[in-house]
Structures are given as C-alpha cells and as structure tokens.
Amino acid sequence: MMTNKTALITGATGGLGKEFVRIHAQNGGDLVLVGRNPQKLEQLQHDVQNKYHVKATIIAVDFTEFDAAEQIFAELQKANIQVDYLINNAGLGGQGTFLERTMDEDVNMAKVNMIVPTKLMKLILPQMVKRGSGRVLNVSSSAALIPGPLQAEYYATKAYLTSLSDALWYELKDTGVTLTTLMPGAMETGFAKAGGLTDTKMFANGVSPKKVAEEGYQSMLDGKMNVFAGLPGWQRPFVSMMPMMPKKTTMRFVADQQSNQK
C-alpha cells in the first residue's frame, strides 16, 4: 500500500511515535515530525529520509507552552504543507496522589494531553473538511474508561480526549474526514520511564508498541471510531466491561496495579 499522503505525528521521537513514523514512511508518505528535542528530531529526519526516501519536515516545540499548537500550525502554513493524516500521539504521564503532585506537573499534563490535541484539531480539521478528505488518530488509553487513583490526572485527561474524539467522529460523519481513537494498554515505551511507572505492576508486562501502532494506523485508515490495542486476550473483554463494574472495586484494582512490584 503506497500513499502520497502527508502525516503529522506528534511525539514522533518516542516509542509509539517512531513506530507510526516507520509505518507511514514505509508506505511512501511524507512526514511532519513534531517533538520537543531538536537533536532527536534531526536524527529521526536524517534516518527516515535516507532509509525510505520520503520528505520529513521537523518542528521542535514544547507542548507545555500554551500556544504550542499555534506554533506548529504557523510552521505548516509557512512551509505550505497540507496535512492529510493528523496523529496526536504525544502524551505525558506521571504517578502520585493528586495532593503529592505539583501544580506545574498536573497543569503541564493537561496541556500536553488535552489542550494541544484539541487546538491542533481546531486548526487542521476545518482544512480537511473543506477538502472533503482526511484522517485523525488520537492516541488515548484504555485508562480513559475509568477513574485512576495514583494517576488521577492522567486518567482524567484521557477520558476527556476519548469523549471529545468520539463526539467528533459522529459530527464528522459524511464529511469525508474520520476520527479514530486508539486506546492501548501498558506498553514498553519511554512513556513509563518518564512517568516513573516502570516498577509498577501495571507496566510489568508492557507490550511492544510496534503491534499497537500497526493496529492503530490501520484502524485510522479504515475510519474506525475506537480501537483497543496491546491488550492480552483476557484483558479485552475485561476492559470493555470496566465502566459497568462497581466503581469502588475498579478503583481499588487500579490503585493496586499502580503500586510497585513486591
């Protein structure tokens, strides 16, 4: 499957982001690589262009800045780049009780996980709808379905992103534009390390991001609304039933899973 579509991927230098980059580049598509670290972006740009012979544009921006999305959009306009696929992959996690975590930690998480993807969709979706074509993939989490003690803010941000995305999927019907929400389980990526989660039970058996990315990317092309990926077979029905389970029991389970392994 070859494509001449341009994909903008946020968090492009991370584990899942790199997999999205690989998949799209393998299919012959050009890329806009967005991340915080200019050196990592330049290295990724060099690798992608040499290996896949596609064009890769880089945009370095700090997602904790309130106007990060506007900075990205301004660069797109300056370079006259049309985004065909928007993959909102960048995410920020972090463990600890709400009272332990600092104001900056939680506000920055809200910016990265909610504000930036919302603004990017506000800026890019109208262009897609006007053309009558486009694909959006928002990387949420299976955590979006329930409250999450010891990661209260993270679970809440993903609930916001999933709820917004599902509503937009409906609103975009018959426009030629689709919006897919990817809800993976725990993965072996830099996300767990950055969030101080590597020693928790939840991430003890994290899956490879490769399969998650492949499933998410294909679901985006197919225009699916929600896709669960990276969950062992037994977990899939369990996860889908979580919202119907007694909330206190579910939260006790989540809190236990986020405690360190004995």
Find out whether 117 and 88 touch, Cβ atoms under 8 Å. Answer: yes
The domains of the chain are located at 6-257
What's the DSSP call for residue 6? E
Band (pLDDT 50/70/90 cuts) for residue 233 is: low
**For residue 33, what pLDDT is reported?**
98
Q: What is the pLDDT of the chain when averaged over all its residues?
A: 88
Q: Which CATH superfamily is domain 6-257 in?
A: NAD(P)-binding Rossmann-like Domain (3.40.50.720)
What pLDDT digit, counting tens, does each position of 157-187 carry?
Answer: 999 999 999 999 999 999 999 999 999 987 5
Confidence of residue 1 (pLDDT cuts 50, 70, 90): low
Query: Which residues fall within 8 angstroms of residue 168, CB to CB, at 6 or more apart?
Result: 121, 125, 136, 179
Q: Please tell me the distance from the alpha carbon of residue 141 to that of residue 234, in angstroms, as a whole number.
A: 17
Q: Cite the active site residues.
A: 154
- Percentage of the chain with pLDDT > 90? 73
The pTM of the full predicted model, rounded to 2 decimals, is 0.86
The residue ranking higher by pLDDT, 116 or 200, is 116
